[in-house]
């Protein structure tokens, strides 16, 4: 070593903080505790890995897992089918219930399908130009008003607006219905790009 190298060696390097020693030594000793050491022969003997399962037993266990998987999958499919089939039947049930409603019953509903004319007589409310931009386009077909309402609910979101008008007696305004969270049809409407 040259003189300069000796002089450099004589310098003292900066010493790390004592906390570093604690941290490093703790890490070394902690891993010593947490990581299991190699098992002795006696310990290995009682390890589950060393238990000799017979091939038949292994096959049986695998078979049980596969079978139970199939059972779960079949049950899920069955439940899905039942629920799926029940949905249309509920709608048709509602349709029947509403269709069977006679004009007197509908009149009992506040403002339902009725409007006062200029001369004071009550007449069924039909869409008029300027009332609603939706109803004019949707109100087609024949049959009772109630059946049209119910059918239209399941036909298109705009028909749902007609139904709402007739149920509430209010005029459906396309411009400001967007922020009106009371109506599920808004969501439907927007979903179809209305």
Pick from 19, 40, 50, 179: which binds another protein (CB under 8 A)?
A: 19
Residue 170: name the closest of 112, 118, 102, 130 by CA.
112
Asked whether the beta carbons of 125 and 138 are under 8 A apart, the reply is no
Assess 28 for contact with another protein (CB under 8 A): yes
For the bound state, the minimum distance from the C-beta of residue 22 to another protein, rounded and expressed in Å, comes to 10
# residues contacting another protein (CB under 8 A) = 29
Pick from 37, 40, 119, 121: which binds another protein (CB under 8 A)?
A: 37
Assess 44 for contact with another protein (CB under 8 A): no
Other Cβ atoms within 10 Å of 160 Cβ, number? 23
Assess 38 for contact with another protein (CB under 8 A): yes
Between the alpha carbon of residue 117 and those of residues 7, 77, 109, the distances in Å are 113, 56, 18
- Among residues 22 and 116, whose Cβ is nearest to another protein? 22
Assess 13 for contact with another protein (CB under 8 A): yes
Q: Any idea what the Cα angle at residue 130 is, between residues 126 and 133, rounded to 5°?
A: 80
Assess 14 for contact with another protein (CB under 8 A): yes
Q: How far apart are the first and last CA of the chain?
A: 88
Assess 40 for contact with another protein (CB under 8 A): no
78, two tokens: 């069955």
Q: How far apart are CA 100 and CA 147, in angstroms?
A: 9
Assess 16 for contact with another protein (CB under 8 A): yes
* Widest distance between CA atoms in the chain: 121
- Among residues 6 and 175, whose Cβ is nearest to another protein? 6
- Quick one: which segment of 13-21, 68-76, 93-101, 139-147 binds another protein (CB under 8 A)? 13-21
Asked whether the beta carbons of 194 and 157 are under 8 A apart, the reply is yes
Chain residues that interact with another protein, rule: CB under 8 A: 2, 4-5, 7-17, 19-21, 23-25, 27-32, 35, 37-38
């Amino acid at each position: 070593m040259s003189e300069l190298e000796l002089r450099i060696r004589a310098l003292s390097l900066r010493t790390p903080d004592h906390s570093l020693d604690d941290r490093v030594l703790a890490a070394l000793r902690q891993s010593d505790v947490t990581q299991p050491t190699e098992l002795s022969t006696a310990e290995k003997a009682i390890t589950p890995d060393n238990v000799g399962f017979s091939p038949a037993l292994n096959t049986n266990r695998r078979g049980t897992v596969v079978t139970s998987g199939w059972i779960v999958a079949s049950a899920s499919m069955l439940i899905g089918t039942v629920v799926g089939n029940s949905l249309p039947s509920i709608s048709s049930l509602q349709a029947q219930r509403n269709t069977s409603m006679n004009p007197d019953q509908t009149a009992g509903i506040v403002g339902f399908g009725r409007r006062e004319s200029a001369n004071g007589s009550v007449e069924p409310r039909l869409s008029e130009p300027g009332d609603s931009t939706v109803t004019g386009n949707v109100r087609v077909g024949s049959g009772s008003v109630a059946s049209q309402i119910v059918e239209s609910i399941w036909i298109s979101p705009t028909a749902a607006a007609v139904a709402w008008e007739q149920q509430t007696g209010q005029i459906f305004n396309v411009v400001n219905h967007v922020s009106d969270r009371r109506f599920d049809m808004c969501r439907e409407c927007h979903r179809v790009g209305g």
